[in-house]
Each structure stands twice: as structure tokens, then as C-alpha cells.
């Protein structure tokens, strides 16, 4: 029998947007949000058509939405080009001289590219791709550091209708092989290397190692980022700079069908095989444009920084496409947040006078661990809006972000979405929505989420259940590349015609959504299913705790027992007393049903390269004492050794 997901959060604090912020915001009040939201769900096609009209179409669509569940087409028969909308559309105005990208390398190199300059580079690289035989519909794999050329490569693909598949620079060569082969990519764009935490990541070497097993790849283009000796394979490998010299900067944007594929992005599912999430052009363009405008309240003069790597969906939608569609200035940083010191981000914010800053809870928790003295050294007074994404933010981290970084004056937009959704789905609108620490608040325009029981009934107020999206939205994934069956099974079989997110959530009396983590991270203890994120949040609220991850382990008596892995703030030493104290702390914060059965104090938690804690590995360690599954996405393998040592 399916039990309920028990929600245990008791957060009561509410933060209203400050009047000076709201006055200047695109959306200035809750009344305005509600009116627009109601209209947007009463007539979504009218709402999205109006948004689409703000962009440039070579040919107007005939129908806004064709919905044959679970397959959607948006802006049917319309023709447009993402690259044209990001670049050419701005060149007729003063924006041609505006900074499109401000870039800083980890080693201190810097560059600023105007819209005109970016346009020229993109046109040239589009010509390079054509010269190397890339045609509309061909797949191009991008495996690069965070340098402006990654945006050039993306936009050049989009310009000629090639489909990019970015593979995060932290992936190994075997991960590259799987993804390149699944996409049957014809060309790889890479670099001789990248800087990361002061060391060199040998991207080209990884590509070389992969190539023997990638028969579809005909050419490899290599950007020179370092003075790194690399082996160039005659006939296959080409230096980016040399190719760019041999082409001109005129390349008309292809007039692409609205449903033409824009990119594939691989993401992990519940099975070992990564899923190729497929996004198409029209709907994705319209929705990343509009969400960036309203959620980040983008102003012409803003300098906007999203710290995500372009290898993740956040980098696609909110480092590159969304900001450029809005004619904004987007900042890109190549390296680690703590190199050379833990205040690198704060230095960058002051140096470039960043106004809007978007990062991940895991980063915020690291900053807390490193200590307040680091941000305190910097003014941070240009910031006006903060954002977070990627996992539930525990209220204490939210408060730290609000007070220490935002100085109590910046709204925080906690944005919920997924690789699959393509764009932000549930989020505060910063000038309008009162926020509460830990909730992603209300749906974006046109989005109709719901929390449902296993049986498909709407959950009651504060009752935990499954987060679903009941109506199609423009940036939704169209399928899993070459595996439509998996697409249907994974997302649409739980509730026919309704998108299953895989997340647990509850809705409070104000209709605010509280994400409780992945459903597979929800554990069942004595008949109660408890959101692991909530137990973690309680633990992290303890002054001595830096970070925690909670997993279930089978227990004869209770079904599952709660096992909490905890890292301590630097100055505290592990002890049995402290473990007992933390257990009691959780009881105090939540209740006896959430008392951890076991606390393991550990020096570090295993994380993916994007900073997500790999709970699956912890579950294996908690259950079997060893890790047997796939560890290819783990950032630091020594963490596993440490965790095993803890056990002995």
C-alpha cells in the first residue's frame, strides 16, 4: 500500500518585496501577478502568442498549440531562428554596442564581447561548421570550458539548424562516448584544456580517448584556451582560430520550423543510461525569453550573472539563451568559487558590479561553511536580486543568503524547474510575490502544477504528494532522443495526460509549493514517508553542521531507517556526544518520527560535478557498506574512500 509523503516543515517567516524594488519591477504587485496568471491559464494560447510577438519570426505560426498527449507542438508552422533572436534582433538598435558577454577566466584573464562582436564570431563559426560538412539536423557535441566560445558554438549550431549536445567538461571520456554515440554526433567542439581550482582539465585528451569508440565523429575543432601541448590528429582535428581565419562573417540565419530540434541534453534518470532530453526551437525560445524577463526582472542596464556551467540546463537557458534573447549583459566565469580564495564570487560581483545573481543552494551552503568573513570583505552593494535553483534550499541557507549576501534588501527567487521543463516553472516574481524561506512559491504564467496522491487525487492543504504539471507548456521536452517509449513511460504513465515530475511536494494554505526532493529520495519510516530534504534542513539549521544528506536504509522494524551523513563546520570535532545532540536536535526541530537512526559524521559528501549530493551512493554505503553502482558523475573519488573509512 502506498503511504503518504509526510511534510514536516514549519517555516513561518514571510518576506515582502521592498517598495522601491516593486516600483521599478516589470511586475509590481501580487494583484498584477494574479491578474496576469489567471488570464494566462484561462487562455494560455493567447498569453503565449503575445509573448511570442515580442520576438522575431520569419513566418508567423498558424496555431499556437497542437496537443496530442503526450506530444505537443508549439507555434505550429511558425519559422524563426534562436540565434537571430539572440543576436541580429539587437543589431538594429544601440544594443549592438552593448556588452553581450563579460567573461572572466579562473586565471584572471578577462574579455568583453559586444552583441556585434558576438554576432560576427557566431556567423564565422556557423560558416566553419558548414565548411566541415555540418548540415541542418546534424548533431554537434560541445565539450568545452566556460569560455565565450562555448556560447559561440551553441549559437552557431542554432544559426544553421544543427542540434547541439553539450557534455559538461567534468565528464570522463567514457561518459563522452555514450553520449556522442547516442546522439550520433558528426563533430566535436572542444578546447585544449580548462582551468579548474588552479589545475588543468585535459579536455582534448579526454576527447582523444573517446574517439576510438565514436565512429560517427568526422571532425574535432579545438579552441586554444591554454598553452597546452596537445596532439592534433591530422585530417580529423582542427584549430578553431585557424578555421575562423578562413571564413567570412556573413551567414544568414536559417529559417527554421518552430518544432525544429534545438538541442539534446543528457541527464540521469532512474536507470543507468542517461536520457537525451530533446528541446525544440519555438516554444523554448519564447519561454526562456519570458521567464528571464519576469523572474530576473531584467533591466536594460543590468549586469546579470548565473554561475551555472553551460554544460547543465541552467547554463543553456539562463547563462546563454534567456539573457541574450533579452539583450542583457551576461557574465561568465570559468572556474571554481573558492579559487584562489573562498571569496572569488564576491570579488567578481564587486568587480563587475553585478546586479542580478543566480546560483545553487549547494554553493550557498559551501559559502556558509567557509565563513561569513569572506563575503564581509566585499561591498556587494550593486546586487538587487538573488536567485537559487537545483535543489531545495533549507531555510537557514536561505536566511544566510538573504542577510549576508542580499543585506536584507534583495528579493530571492527560488526557482523550480528541470532539464525536462526547459525553463523556470514555479518561482516567485520578485517585485510581487511575498517569499518564505524554503518555498518556490507560485507557478509562472501559463503553468498549472498540482500536488497529487498516488491515486491521482488532488492533495489537501499541506498534504505531501507528487508534483505534476497538468497542462503542456512551451519549453517542455518533446521526447527522449530516439526513445519515445521511455519518454511516455517515464513522464506520462503515472497519470495519463499529466506530466510527472518525479518530485514530492506540498502546497500550503497560500497555494505555495514546497518541494520535498525527488520522490526516490523520500523515505518510508514506520509508515511515514519523510522528505529527506526536510531532515537535512533541520540538521543544517544546527550551528555545528555544514551540510547533510539523509538516506533511507532497509530496517526490519520500521521499513526504512533514517541514516544521516553530516559534515561539520570546520572548528567542530566529531564525537558520540555530538551525534546524540544532533539526533535530539532533529527531534526538536521536526518530531520523534524523524529522529535519525544513525548519524555518520564525515569530512565530505559525494557530489556530482554540478554539486548535487549523490544520495544513491550514500544509500549504497548506508545499506551495504560499499558502492556498486555507476560513479562516473562523481566529482571527487577520494570522498568515497573517506566514507568507507568512517565505517570501519
Q: Is 267 in the site for ligand PRX (CB under 6 A)?
A: yes
Q: Is 422 in the site for ligand PRX (CB under 6 A)?
A: no
Peptide bond into 70 cis (omega under 30): yes
Q: Is 494 in the site for ligand PRX (CB under 6 A)?
A: no
- In the list 309, 334, 414, 620, the residue contacting ligand PRX (rule: CB under 6 A) is 414
User: Minimum distance from CB of 610 to ligand PRX (Å)?
Assistant: 7
User: Minimum distance from CB of 439 to ligand PRX (Å)?
Assistant: 9
Is the distance from CB of 294 to CB of 286 less than 8 angstroms?
no
User: Minimum distance from CB of 487 to ligand PRX (Å)?
Assistant: 15
Is the distance from CB of 292 to CB of 324 less than 8 angstroms?
no
- In the list 138, 149, 391, 534, the residue contacting ligand PRX (rule: CB under 6 A) is 391
Neighbours of 569 (CB within 10 A): 15
User: Minimum distance from CB of 271 to ligand PRX (Å)?
Assistant: 16
User: Minimum distance from CB of 467 to ligand PRX (Å)?
Assistant: 8
Q: Is 369 in the site for ligand PRX (CB under 6 A)?
A: no
Distances from the Cα of 288 to the Cα of 281, 292, 306, 320, angstroms: 11, 6, 14, 10
Q: What angle do CA 47, 52, 57 make, to 5 degrees?
A: 155
User: Minimum distance from CB of 145 to ligand PRX (Å)?
Assistant: 20
Q: Which is nearer to ligand PRX, 391 or 534 (CB)?
A: 391
Return the exposure string of 438-468: e unless at least 16 CB atoms fall within 10 Å of the residue's CB, then b: bbbbbbbbbbbbbbbbeeeeebeeebbbbbb
**Residue number of the CB atom closest to ligand PRX:** 419
Closest CA to 459 of 504, 422, 493, 395: 504
* Interaction pattern, residues 314-333, with ligand PRX; x per rule: CB under 6 A: x-------------------
Q: Is 406 in the site for ligand PRX (CB under 6 A)?
A: no
Residues 270-289 that bind ligand PRX (CB under 6 A): none
Q: What is the DSSP string of 395-450?
A: HHHHHHIIIIITTTTS-EEEEB--TTT-S--B---TTT--B-TT--BSBPTT--EE
Q: Fill in the DSSP letter of residue 88.
A: I
Q: Which is nearer to ligand PRX, 346 or 416 (CB)?
A: 416
Per the structure block, which three cell numbers stand in for 642? 573517506
- In the list 223, 440, 613, 621, the residue contacting ligand PRX (rule: CB under 6 A) is 440
Q: Is 418 in the site for ligand PRX (CB under 6 A)?
A: yes
Q: Is 307 in the site for ligand PRX (CB under 6 A)?
A: no
Q: Is 389 in the site for ligand PRX (CB under 6 A)?
A: yes
Distances from the Cα of 10 to the Cα of 13, 112, 216, 300, 590, angstroms: 10, 46, 54, 39, 8
User: Minimum distance from CB of 415 to ligand PRX (Å)?
Assistant: 5
Closest CA to 390 of 412, 355, 418: 418
User: Minimum distance from CB of 499 to ligand PRX (Å)?
Assistant: 12
Q: Is 503 in the site for ligand PRX (CB under 6 A)?
A: yes
Q: Is 390 in the site for ligand PRX (CB under 6 A)?
A: yes
Q: How many residues bind ligand PRX (CB under 6 A)?
A: 19
Pick the piece of the chain touching ligand PRX (CB under 6 A) from 209-217, 348-356, 388-396, 563-571. 388-396
Peptide bond into 297 cis (omega under 30): no
User: Minimum distance from CB of 107 to ligand PRX (Å)?
Assistant: 28
Is the distance from CB of 214 to CB of 167 less than 8 angstroms?
no
Residues in touch with ligand PRX (CB under 6 A): 267, 313-314, 389-392, 414-419, 440, 501-503, 515, 518
Amino acid at each position: 500500500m502506498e503511504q503518504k509523503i509526510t511534510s514536516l516543515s514549519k517555516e513561518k517567516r514571510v518576506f515582502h518585496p521592498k517598495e522601491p524594488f516593486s516600483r521599478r519591477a516589470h511586475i509590481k504587485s501580487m494583484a498584477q501577478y494574479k491578474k496576469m496568471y489567471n488570464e494566462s491559464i484561462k487562455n494560455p494560447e493567447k498569453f503565449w502568442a503575445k509573448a511570442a510577438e515580442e520576438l522575431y519570426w520569419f513566418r508567423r505560426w498558424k496555431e499556437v498549440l497542437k496537443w496530442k498527449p503526450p506530444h505537443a507542438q508549439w507555434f505550429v508552422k511558425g519559422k524563426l531562428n534562436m540565434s537571430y533572436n539572440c543576436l541580429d534582433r539587437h543589431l538594429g538598435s544601440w544594443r549592438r554596442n552593448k556588452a553581450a558577454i563579460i567573461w572572466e577566466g579562473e586565471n584572471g584573464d578577462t574579455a568583453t564581447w559586444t552583441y556585434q562582436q558576438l554576432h560576427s564570431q557566431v556567423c564565422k563559426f556557423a560558416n566553419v561548421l558548414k565548411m566541415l560538412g555540418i548540415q541542418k539536423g546534424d548533431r554537434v557535441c560541445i565539450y568545452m570550458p566556460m569560455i565565450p566560445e562555448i556560447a559561440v558554438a551553441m549559437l552557431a549550431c542554432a544559426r544553421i539548424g544543427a542540434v547541439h549536445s553539450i557534455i559538461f567538461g567534468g565528464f570522463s571520456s567514457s561518459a563522452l562516448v555514450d553520449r556522442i554515440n547516442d546522439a550520433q554526433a558528426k563533430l566535436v567542439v572542444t578546447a585544449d584544456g580548462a582551468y579548474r581550482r588552479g589545475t588543468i582539465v585535459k579536455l582534448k585528451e579526454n576527447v582523444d580517448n573517446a574517439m576510438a569508440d565514436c565512429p560517427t565523429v568526422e571532425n574535432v575543432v579545438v579552441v586554444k584556451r591554454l598553452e597546452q601541448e596537445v596532439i592534433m590528429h591530422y585530417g580529423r582535428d582542427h584549430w578553431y582560430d585557424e578555421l575562423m581565419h578562413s571564413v567570412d562573417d556573413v551567414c544568414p540565419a536559417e529559417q527554421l520550423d518552430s518544432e525544429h530540434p534545438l538541442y539534446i541534453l543528457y541527464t540521469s534518470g532512474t536507470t543507468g543510461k542517461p536520457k537525451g532530453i530533446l528541446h525544440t526551437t519555438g516554444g523554448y525560445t519564447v519561454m526562456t525569453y519570458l521567464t528571464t524577463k519576469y523572474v530576473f526582472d531584467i533591466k536594460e542596464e543590468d549586469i546579470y550573472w548565473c554561475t551555472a556551467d553551460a554544460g547543465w540546463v541552467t547554463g543553456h537557458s539562463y547563462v546563454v539563451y534567456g539573457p541574450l534573447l533579452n539583450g542583457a549583459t551576461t557574465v561568465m566565469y570559468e572556474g571554481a568559487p573558492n579559487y584562489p580564495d573562498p571569496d572569488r564570487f564576491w570579488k567578481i560581483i564587486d568587480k563587475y558590479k553585478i546586479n542580478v545573481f543566480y546560483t545553487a543552494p549547494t554553493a550557498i551552503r559551501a559559502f556558509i561553511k567557509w565563513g561569513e568573513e569572506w563575503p564581509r570583505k566585499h561591498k556587494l552593494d550593486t546586487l538587487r536580486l538573488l536567485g537559487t535553483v537545483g535543489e531545495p534550499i533549507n531555510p537557514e541557507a536561505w536566511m544566510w543568503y538573504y542577510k549576508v549576501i542580499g543585506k536584507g534588501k534583495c528579493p530571492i527567487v527560488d526557482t523550480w524547474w528541470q532539464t525536462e521543463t526547459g525553463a523556470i516553472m514555479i518561482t516567485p516574481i520578485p517585485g510581487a510575490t511575498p517569499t518564505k524561506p524554503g518555498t518556490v512559491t507560485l507557478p509562472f504564467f501559463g503553468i498549472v502544477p498540482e500536488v497529487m496522491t498516488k491515486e491521482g487525487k488532488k492533495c489537501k492543504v499541506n498534504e505531501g504528494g507528487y508534483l505534476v504539471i497538468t497542462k503542456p507548456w512551451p519549453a517542455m521536452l518533446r521526447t527522449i532522443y530516439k526513445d519515445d517509449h521511455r519518454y511516455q513511460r517515464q513522464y506520462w504513465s503515472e497519470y495519463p495526460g499529466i506530466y510527472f515530475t518525479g518530485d514530492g511536494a506540498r502546497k500550503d494554505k497560500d497555494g505555495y509549493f514546497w518541494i520535498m526532493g525527488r520522490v526516490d529520495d523520500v523515505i518510508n519510516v514506520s509508515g511515514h514517508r519523510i522528505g529527506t530534504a526536510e531532515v537535512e534542513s533541520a540538521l543544517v539549521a544546527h550551528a555545528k553542521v555544514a551540510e547533510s544528506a539523509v538516506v533511507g536504509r532497509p530496517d526490519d522494524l520500521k521499513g526504512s531507517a533514517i541514516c544521516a551523513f553530516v559534515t561539520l563546520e570546520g572548528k567542530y570535532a566529531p564525537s558520540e556526544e555530538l551525534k546524540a545532540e544532533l539526533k535530539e536536535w532533529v527531534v526538536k526541530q521536526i518530531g520523534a518520527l524523524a529522529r535519525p537512526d544513525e548519524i555518520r559524521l564525515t569530512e565530505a559528501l559525494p557530489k556530482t560535478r554540478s554539486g548535487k549530493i549523490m544520495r544513491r551512493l550514500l544509500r549504497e554505503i548506508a545499506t551495504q557498506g560499499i558502492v556498486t553502482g555507476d560513479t562516473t558523475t562523481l566529482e571527487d573519488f577520494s570522498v568515497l574512500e573517506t566514507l568507507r573509512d568512517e565505517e570501519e
